[in-house]
């Protein structure tokens, strides 16, 4: 990491920061001097990860906020709690994601993957936009996936009621996140806030924990480490080279073309309107 990537005085919020890419990204950015605000669902796991991050980075400026991102009430409380403690947010990394094997619904009656992988970043980012804009130059980074290339959005079955498959629905939720990234970048033009998406690579994380032993074993042998997966998010959060670059998709620290479907502006606008409705924005 180049020396000029020093992040002293920068406040960074990372969702799903207690394991996998989120935790590895937190360690990397804490080493650069950033104040890290971890968002975790489980207090015990969060506390344990915060301790690890402090030890690994020699940085004590690690804060923990507890929120279940499947609950819109929790997300609203999270934004409120953050604003009561901090006056700035220089980097927001929407990292938390899930792949449940069976279709589940949230307390708000929404399909779980759509809620956590897309609507949570949509709602949280919008609730924090005022403080992010006030902190400009600031950066929003959405952790997407190369699996979005396989997806098509069916607006008649957004909740996967007619058809559900763990990864089938996951792919679609990540395409929705790509729509959000590009539409938000368009809306924030000229504000000094950039929005980019990243494919971290195929990583050994807890994401596929609901799947069978063969799948989990395959993951352990062939997939990259979370540390490797965190390299591009760390680069996007800290590198001066990225200043002012917005509305792009990155993999291996390089700009990349996302799927054809992801550039459909009409679909992105439609997705935004539906998301605003579903989150009561």
Number of domains in the chain: 1
| Active-site option among 86, 149, 164, 170 | 170
Q: What does the pLDDT average to over 96-100?
A: 93
263 belongs to the catalytic site: no
Q: What is the pLDDT of residues 234-264, one digit of tens each?
A: 999 999 999 999 999 999 999 999 999 999 9
Closest CA to 177 of 208, 144, 140: 144
Who contacts 69 (Cβ-Cβ below 8 Å, separation ≥6)?
15, 16, 39, 41, 75, 96, 115, 116, 120, 124
Q: Output the pLDDT for position 147.
A: 85
pLDDT tens, residue by residue, 148-178: 989 899 999 999 999 999 888 999 999 999 9
Mean pLDDT of the chain: 91
Mean pLDDT of the region 210-221: 45
Domain that holds residue 202: 3-278
CATH of the domain at 42: 3.40.50.720
Residue-level pLDDT at 167: 87
User: What are the residues whose beta carbons fall under 8 Å from the beta carbon of 177, sequence distance 6 or more?
Assistant: 94, 117, 118, 121, 142, 144, 148, 197
With a cut of 70, say whether residue 1 has pLDDT above it: no
Confirm if 185 and 246 have CB atoms less than 8 A apart: yes
C-alpha distances (whole Å) from 98 to each of 107, 112, 241 are: 16, 8, 31
Confidence at residue 227, expressed as pLDDT on a 0 to 100 scale: 84
The answer to whether 95 and 15 have CB atoms below 8 angstroms apart is yes
Q: What is the pLDDT of residue 219?
A: 43
Q: Span 205-221, mean pLDDT?
A: 46
Give the integer Cα–Cα distance in Å for 176 and 172: 6
Q: 40-54 pLDDT, tens per residue?
A: 999 999 999 999 999
């Amino acid at each position: 990491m180049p020396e000029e990537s020093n992040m002293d005085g920068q406040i960074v919020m990372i969702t799903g920061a207690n394991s996998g890419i989120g935790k590895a990204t937190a360690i990397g950015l804490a080493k650069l001097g950033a104040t890290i605000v971890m968002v975790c669902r489980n207090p015990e796991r969060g506390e344990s990860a915060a301790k690890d991050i402090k030890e690994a980075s020699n940085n004590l400026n690690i804060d923990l906020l507890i929120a279940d991102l499947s609950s819109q009430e929790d997300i609203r409380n999270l934004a409120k709690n953050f604003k009561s403690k901090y006056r700035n947010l220089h980097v927001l990394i929407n990292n938390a994601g899930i792949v449940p094997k069976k279709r589940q619904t949230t307390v708000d009656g929404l399909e779980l993957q759509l809620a956590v992988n897309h609507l949570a970043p949509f709602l949280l980012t919008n609730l924090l936009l005022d403080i992010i804009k006030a902190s400009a130059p600031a950066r929003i980074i959405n952790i997407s996936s190369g699996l979005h290339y396989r997806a098509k959005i069916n607006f008649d079955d957004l909740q996967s009621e007619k058809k559900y498959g763990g990864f089938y629905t996951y792919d679609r939720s990540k395409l929705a996140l790509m729509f959000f990234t590009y539409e938000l970048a368009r809306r924030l033009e000229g504000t000094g806030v950039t929005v980019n998406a990243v494919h971290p690579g195929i990583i050994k994380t807890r994401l596929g924990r609901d799947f069978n032993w063969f799948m989990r074993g395959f993951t352990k042998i062939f997939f990259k480490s979370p540390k490797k997966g965190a390299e591009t998010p760390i680069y996007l959060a800290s590198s001066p080279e990225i200043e002012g670059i917005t509305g792009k998709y990155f993999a291996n620290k390089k700009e990349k073309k996302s799927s054809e479907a992801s550039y459909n502006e009409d679909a992105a606008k439609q997705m935004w309107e539906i998301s605003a409705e579903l989150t009561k924005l």
